[in-house]
Structure 1
Amino acid sequence: MPELLNVLFKSFWVGCAAFGFGILFNVPKKYLAVVWLGGAIVGFIKFSVLLYISSSIILATFLAALVVGIYSVIIAYVRNEPPMIFAIPPVIPLVPGAFAYRTMYGLIKLTGNVDAEFSRTLSETVRNGALTLFIIMSFTIGVIIPYEIGKEISRKIN
């Protein structure tokens, strides 16, 4: 039970971050609640998958982005708006800032003197860089797949 409460708490704050990015990207005021809900869904899926299904942050990010991509396509169809209005602000909190920071910090350390810590720093930097790259690719692909499928379905309907 405390784990579920923790997931709900984190989901609430991811929704708040999505709300803030919705304001930053000039999402119409009438859709900000929908953006907040999309962010909360992203947070819930990501942290639930990490806690209960897999410890892979890449898989959790992909599934969260895929679900919010489907959500955004459905909401966009119902409200007759572009899906990216509802998809982009909720996935921005998925950006792996800590891993990107550690990658850049490691690269800066590698430009200094070569010492006994060089090989450890190199391996950590490569690991953090790879995680950053794959997390960004996973949420990009997770949002694009429903969008492209939705375009294809609407093209066949019309």
Structure 2
Amino acid sequence: MEEIFLAFIASLCPGIMYNVARKNLLWVGLAGMFGWITYASMLEYSGNVVFSSFLGAVVVGLYSESVARLRKAPAMVFSIPGIFPLVPGIAIYNSTQYIAENNLSKAANTGIEAISCAGAIACGILMTSAVFRIVKKRKKLKLYRKV
């Protein structure tokens, strides 16, 4: 329960920092919270950090695109702060620490894991926004064909 609240705060603070409108701050925090719930549950279920990061980012992307239409705001307002709890900061820190300790095999392992998680987050957000754009274009094309 603590982690869920901290994920909410971890998304809310960047929202404040990026001057998100007050009416959208609650929704920004919920984006990070839902992404973290998905990440944590999938990590417990599968044990795969990269896959869990990907699914967490997909949930953040779906939530952001949906709420953006309801709140009449850009989806990036919700997705950028929403992925902050998913960012693999500890893996990057550990990789840097292992490099400083000259433990290159552990540094490579944690570095590759961190880069993979970052790529999975980017792909998750990219895929959901692409799907929403394709659906939106198809709806527009159907409207033009009816006219």
Instruction: Please give the TM-score of this superposition, normalised by the length of structure 1.
Output: 0.84
For residues 1-158 of structure 1, the aligned pairs below 5 Å read 8-51=1-44, 53-110=45-102, 121-158=103-140
Q: Distance in 1 between matches of 2:65 and 2:117?
A: 22
Partner of 2:145: none
Number of equivalenced pairs = 140
- Point out where structure 1 has 5 or more consecutive residues left out of the alignment: 1-7, 111-120
Percent identical pairs in the alignment equals: 28
Instruction: Please give the TM-score of this superposition, normalised by the length of structure 2.
Output: 0.90
Write out per-residue CA displacement over residues 65-94 of structure 1, whole angstroms, 9 at most, x where no aligned residue: 101101111111222221111111010121
Q: Distance in 1 between matches of 2:134 and 2:71?
A: 18
Q: Distance in 1 between matches of 2:11 and 2:4?
A: 10
Tell me the amino acid that sits aligned with residue 124 of structure 2.
Answer: G
Write out per-residue CA displacement over residues 1-54 of structure 1, whole angstroms, 9 at most, x where no aligned residue: xxxxxxx32111101110001111111111000011111111111111122x21
Q: Distance in 2 between matches of 1:80 and 1:40?
A: 21
Q: Is the 8 A contact 1:65 1:139 kept in 2?
A: yes
Q: Distance in 2 between matches of 1:96 and 1:56?
A: 13
Q: Distance in 1 between matches of 2:3 and 2:68?
A: 26
Q: Distance in 2 between matches of 1:94 and 1:56?
A: 14
Q: Distance in 2 between matches of 1:143 and 1:15?
A: 18
Structure 1 runs (4+) deviating above 4 angstroms are: none
Q: Distance in 1 between matches of 2:125 and 2:4?
A: 19
Q: Is the 8 A contact 1:11 1:42 kept in 2?
A: no
- Point out where structure 2 has 5 or more consecutive residues left out of the alignment: 141-147
Q: Secondary structure at the match of 2:83?
A: helix
